[in-house]
Structure 1
Amino acid sequence: MAEVTAEARIEAPTGKVWERLTDFGSYGEWNATHTNFPDGGPETLAAGSTFTENMKLMGFPAEVLWTIEELEDGRVLAIRGKGPMGVIVGTRYSLAEDGGATKVRIDGEFTGAAVSLMAGKLKDSATAALTESLRKLSGLVA
């Protein structure tokens, strides 16, 4: 398993950050690993909804079938997906108000046999991508 985390304080209200975070039509503007949603983003933002995303990590393209596992409107979006080579990917976005700004934390995990072969590089690449994503997200909402 490889686990990654990135955090940032974004100078924007939580509602504005959440709105951008869940606007799947503009995902590519801030999410550093996203390439496209071949069938569009999730039709309904609700636990149990599924959607497919094409991504790129460590220079490799991957298609992930995501399921929304947890949704707390304005605060938490957790998704888990199945990627290539039996890799399971989990991503959890959590937002907290911080005096007119928003603390955003992204937790990610990768599990599966293929992960053990490249865990170190995967952690470094995913951490860099999450940090870049938060930087871009901040620029869009601040």
Structure 2
Amino acid sequence: MKSFEAEALINARTSTVWEIITDCGNYTVWDSGITRIDGHLRNGAPIRVRTRTGGNRTFRLRVQQIPGEVMTWTGGLPWGLFKSVCTFTVTPRGGMTNLRVREEFSGPLLGPMWSTVPDLERSFADYVSAVKQRAELLGRHEARIPASPGRPWPRRGDGSGPLRARETSQISQP
């Protein structure tokens, strides 16, 4: 068995980190290293993934989850001749969240296939760093959201705060 691994301690809620790593619609928005993802990141679902390190290859994977804790993406050749399992583990740690990403390769064809596997150490480090950056940014934003049940946005033109983006275009300049 051969593997690659990276982890980061993130100053954000576990739910925030989980939401980021399971939101396939936004994987290409932030610097995840994934250039395309088709499917849904839910238990038992198939996905197709393209990465920067994989070039034009599309990886067909199967998702398994213990929601809020662990997600795996499993792929490879039939009959277990070559298998890859990428495991994303989210663990609360003292008010913060530990994210660990590990991909293990195994199977009888591991030896000959290993030469086709690029060095993923840097890609994994970049991925967890990007999740950390996104989660901490979102975490700071979540901390600013008022807990009161009142209106989160001011009325148009009342001068009490920023206007929503769609209202900005309606303001006339003097």
TM-score normalised by structure 2 residue count: 0.66
Larger Rg computed on CA atoms: 2
Q: What is the number of residues matched between the two proteins?
A: 129
Letter in 2 for 1:31: S
Greater helix fraction, Structure 1 or Structure 2: 1
**Residue in structure 2 matched with residue 14 of structure 1 by the alignment:** 14
Q: Distance in 2 between matches of 1:128 and 1:87?
A: 23
Letter in 2 for 1:23: D
Alignment of 1:3-82 (within 5 A): 3-28=3-28, 29-32=30-33, 34-37=34-37, 40-42=38-40, 45-46=42-43, 48-57=44-53, 60-69=55-64, 71-82=65-76
Please state whether the residue corresponding to 1:61 is helix, strand or coil. coil
The alpha-carbon deviation at position 60 of structure 1 amounts to: 3.2
Question: CA contact under 8 A between 2:39 and 2:45: conserved in structure 1?
Answer: no
Answer 1 or 2: higher relative contact order, Cα 8 Å, separation at least 6.
1
The alpha-carbon deviation at position 87 of structure 1 amounts to: 5.2
Identity %: 21
Question: CA contact under 8 A between 2:8 and 2:128: conserved in structure 1?
Answer: yes
Q: Distance in 1 between matches of 2:56 and 2:3?
A: 20
Greater strand fraction, Structure 1 or Structure 2: 1
TM-score normalised by structure 1 residue count: 0.79
After superposition, the CA RMSD in angstroms is 2.1
Structure 2 portions without partners, runs of 5+: 137-174
**Residue in structure 2 matched with residue 116 of structure 1 by the alignment:** 114
Letter in 2 for 1:68: V
